[in-house]
Amino acid sequence: MAGILRKIRITLEMIKWEHSIFALPFALTAMLLAANGLPGWRTVGWIVVAMIAARSAAMAFNRWADADLDRENPRTRNRAIPAGLLSRQFVLGFTLVALAVVVAAAAELNRLALELTPVVLVVLLGYSYLKRLTQWSHLVLGLALGLAPSAAWIAVRGSLDPRILVLTGAVTLWVGGFDVLYACQDYEHDRVAGLHSLPQAMGLTAAFWAARGMHLAMMALLVWFGWLFGFGVAAWIGEGAVGLLLAYEHALVSPRDLRRLNAAFFTMNGVIAMVFLAFVAADVWIRR
């Protein structure tokens, strides 16, 4: 039992489960808008369980699928599987358990959530192989997280409102943009390994401009989203704060200096997601 618990702890560290904070706040934002406040705690609980389990399954599967690639990359060869801390079989087993939790959570929410679960899982798991095929895999990763608000809306309403797809698009571009920046670290390795990414295809400078373009488009979608839902002052302040934080994130790194990429990628994106949730939640509370 002690050995299994140790492996689970290493797995959670490997998949950085705390980074569920990237997509979860956007899911909770959609939940609040769908319910015009807090739905029942049972619904809240199952949404949180589904989101954390879905991301855990996706990240564990990615580490399983990329184990051989990670072994050849100087940046990733110390990850748990290449380093021999975990076997691929254990990580695959963890993935299957997490997937079972996703399905169980969807079944507890409503029928449509359960019926659409296979579609979501294809996106979550399929992303891991797309870098072998296309330079646009960044947007598929973005979609994997971008589905979170639409899924949460369905979890509350049992139906899909087209307006929430605007937030899905915004999150897709947000994640896709910062994944382009993150991929700049592996520019040389990807060229040698024959993997595809925007930095590898376009060069670092052009990739930075592509990421900036995605984030500008994200902000345009957030403005549209706010208009569709009749945001009040608090939510618009939140959107302004998101824009400023994105600008600061881009100021931290450049094609010639990637040293602060982890601060831009992990810390700032978690802050952005939480700020958006906090201000929209305040707006929903004020307008009730």
HEC per residue, the chain = CHHHHHHHHHHHHHCCHHHHHCCHHHHHHHHHHHHCCCCCHHHHHHHHHHHHHHHHHHHHHHHHHCHHHHHHCCCCCCCCCCCCCCCHHHHHHHHHHHHHHHHHHHHHHCHHHHHHHHHHHHHHHHHHHHCCCCCCHHHHHHHHHHHHHHHHHHHHHCCCCCCHHHHHHHHHHHHHHHHHHHHHHHHHHHHHHCCCCHHHHHCHHHHHHHHHHHHHHHHHHHHHHHHHCCCCHHHHHHHHHHHHHHHHHHHCCECCECCCHHHHHHHHHHHHHHHHHHHHHHHHHHHC
pLDDT of residue 224: 98
pLDDT of residue 7: 85
Phi-psi label, residue 203: left if phi above 0, alpha if psi -120 to 50, beta otherwise: left
How close are the terminal C-alpha atoms of the chain, in Å?
Answer: 49
Q: Which positions of the chain have pLDDT values less than 50?
A: none
pLDDT of residue 151: 96
pLDDT of residue 264: 65
pLDDT of residue 11: 82
CA distance 128 to 221: 27
**Domain ranges, residue 99:** 2-287
Domain at 264, CATH number:
1.10.357.140
User: In this structure, which amino acid lies at residue 172?
Assistant: T
pLDDT of residue 255: 83
pLDDT digits (tens, 9 = 90+) for 127-160: 989 888 888 999 999 999 999 999 999 999 999 9
CA distance 265 to 271: 10
Give the contacts of 76 (CB within 8 A, at least 6 positions apart): 66, 69, 70, 82
pTM of the model as a whole:
0.92
CA distance 185 to 183: 5
CA distance 128 to 125: 6
pLDDT of residue 17: 67
Q: Which residue do the tokens 């200096």 mark?
A: 257
pLDDT of residue 23: 85
**In total, how many domains does the chain have?**
1
Cβ pair 27, 152 in contact under 8 A: yes
Q: Which residue do the tokens 């925007």 mark?
A: 198
Give the contacts of 49 (CB within 8 A, at least 6 positions apart): 101, 105
User: In this structure, which amino acid lies at residue 34?
Assistant: A
